[in-house]
Structure 1
């Protein structure tokens, strides 16, 4: 495959702007940075001063453009999710399945397993449920929420190997042996949709949980004398805090508090129901989401039901809400989520040997596009 020499690019990686303005790729990988001239015979791509970063990464995405993964957990939906992510400058994502019946969960696992054989954009599946606390279920279907039982847990661990990369659970619903077994399985465990107290959350973190699900939302709140899961997550430097910055899921002041507390462990997610606000309403098996005139998804109970933003919007909002640089906001959507799910040795950096999946954009950010170079087959 011919080498591609990309010039006149402002390179952003790991929270800083790099000094080189050129990058070369070949066979789907970065092969050099900072070459003064292209190699003989290389194709030249002039970005005209636009920014280039590692591909944006969304570890919690529920749907594509007009398809919702939990409604149709199949190959067609995953293909549309990848198409939607690439359209919205997000070359890496985790399709997220909300609380569902066991047969639907296993159907989704097999669909993702097959898709991952040929689709390099899927990092694995985020299973959000079914072991949640009903009190903090949010928009999840109450009838499908379950108390963990050993038989189902063992089957999920067995069937989910190599596919389930993240599972959201309410730790207080588990026995000590069950939560230890799940953590030991190698699946990344996230605390969310939980009413756990501060001390219980700290104990769960001590056992190995290192991430929470959509910080501030669907978790025990930070109250006087009761810091809850929010307080425990903010207080523990080991724990990542994915946050939805859409103007509805949390107040900008709460986002700033989280950024001061978490620093490099605060990461961006969209938790988008679908991308691009092209679906006005979703309604199936007890799950309902309707797009309001101001651009948010709510269910019939008035609860938020996923967001409607894409990752470029989240980055732009991060700059505004947190008063941070573009390079810092981009890091919250690239190398930091990669670290949060244990993939930082494979993706998230402009480093020789890393995949050549990029996002390209101007200062506006919301004009971002994907730029992906694939290896030879």
Structure 2
């Protein structure tokens, strides 16, 4: 496969006009200039590494709690429309019995071949979180971080739990060590900790913060919280929901100014109502109402996940902070690929997987290629 006549965003420079040669699942060559070889002519569009969503609950009528082999594949196929080539399916807080069921079904799905974007595993968000900063999680199901439960659930899932978000201030460090020793990324979130409490977690190896500013103690001049710590530690990667709803533009600018493009990963945090009509839906056992890209709990009006697409969040952050395309590729792909130790994806380089998204000049998705196969075409 040849993709030609595009602006190619590589890690070191933008090739203003070039073509990419793909053989089987990998990038074989990256070339400047035109070619007479037959291929897909993108007519000056942007060619970027495929987006990686590290925190997505669902969309298009599917989420972790309602999925099975067939339904998870419906999501996999649909999310490719957003330019996503890889993703981690996030849970919400469930009972032990329900998690046993859902994780078993997810394990079966992971044995199949994805029909669209490739799911790389589970991002477990809850039940190991703070009641004070629970967001749209069922308070009666929340518990302190529990190694035995995590072991059990990882086993049931087929060792497919790859990220766990937890309130690290509710444990003594042993849960953090369990995650690190078992190749699970420890992610701090939904925590009411004071900023100074983060140091012990950081020294143990935690360098990831779940959707910064959402579901956590914030920036206060006398009692700074987790968001403050996340900004202060320069090598901590922060997830950002850049939909224009979860975080005010001035805070988006502040995050970008302090963290820089190397320590931000754009996520959606989207739930099953993404891509569906406005109305009432459920996130776990809790009822929500979707209006446009906003989803809120019907009980108290708290934001409950999101309904924006990944490409919308990319466009919104770029416009808000006037981000260069090379830096945008870091925030959408390469940063989280490095964080998750994915050596074969996350950037447009020779011998890496051909995970590619082609975008028009307004950054709307024209074509998505996952591991050398067209998984979406406008």
Same fold (TM > 0.5): yes
Matched, 1:96 2:94: no
Q: Which runs of 5+ in 2 are unaligned?
A: 374-378
**For residues 206-230 of structure 1, what are the alpha-carbon distances to aligned partners after superposition, in whole Å with 9 as ceiling and x for unaligned?**
1111111100000011101222100
Q: 1:33 aligns with which of 23, 30, 36?
A: 30
Q: Secondary structure at the match of 1:219?
A: coil
**Conserved 8 A contact 2:134-2:215:** yes
Give the match for residue 18 of structure 1.
Answer: 15
Q: 2:225 aligns with which of 215, 223, 228?
A: 228
Matched, 1:84 2:87: no
Q: Secondary structure at the match of 2:357?
A: strand
Q: Secondary structure at the match of 1:87?
A: helix
Give the match for residue 111 of structure 1.
Answer: 105
Q: 1:371 to 1:100 in 2, by over 3 A?
A: same
Give the match for residue 55 of structure 1.
Answer: 50
**Conserved 8 A contact 2:162-2:185:** yes
Q: How large is the RMSD of aligned CA atoms in angstroms? A: 2.2
Structure ranking higher in strand proportion:
2
CA distance, structure 1, for counterparts of residue 34 and residue 82 of structure 2: 31
Q: 1:307 to 1:138 in 2, by over 3 A?
A: same
Using structure 1 for the length normalisation, give the TM-score: 0.90
Q: 1:258 aligns with which of 249, 255, 258?
A: 255
Q: Secondary structure at the match of 1:221?
A: coil
**Conserved 8 A contact 1:270-1:310:** yes
Q: 2:172 aligns with which of 156, 171, 175?
A: 175
Matches within 5 A, 1:1-377: 4-14=1-11, 16-18=13-15, 21-34=18-31, 43-70=38-65, 72-117=66-111, 118-119=113-114, 121-160=118-157, 162-263=159-260, 264-274=262-272, 275-278=274-277, 280-283=279-282, 286-292=285-291, 294-300=292-298, 301-343=300-342, 345-372=343-370, 374=372
Using structure 2 for the length normalisation, give the TM-score: 0.90
Work out the number of aligned pairs and report it. Answer: 367
Q: 1:155 to 1:97 in 2, by over 3 A?
A: same
Q: How far is the alpha carbon of 1:112 from its aligned partner?
A: 3.3
Q: 1:154 to 1:115 in 2, by over 3 A?
A: closer
Q: 1:14 to 1:106 in 2, by over 3 A?
A: farther
**Conserved 8 A contact 2:25-2:371:** yes
**For residues 43-81 of structure 1, what are the alpha-carbon distances to aligned partners after superposition, in whole Å with 9 as ceiling and x for unaligned?**
4221111111111111111113122222x1321231111
Q: Secondary structure at the match of 2:54?
A: strand
Q: Which runs of 5+ in 1 are unaligned?
A: none
Q: 1:166 to 1:277 in 2, by over 3 A?
A: same
**Conserved 8 A contact 1:64-1:83:** no
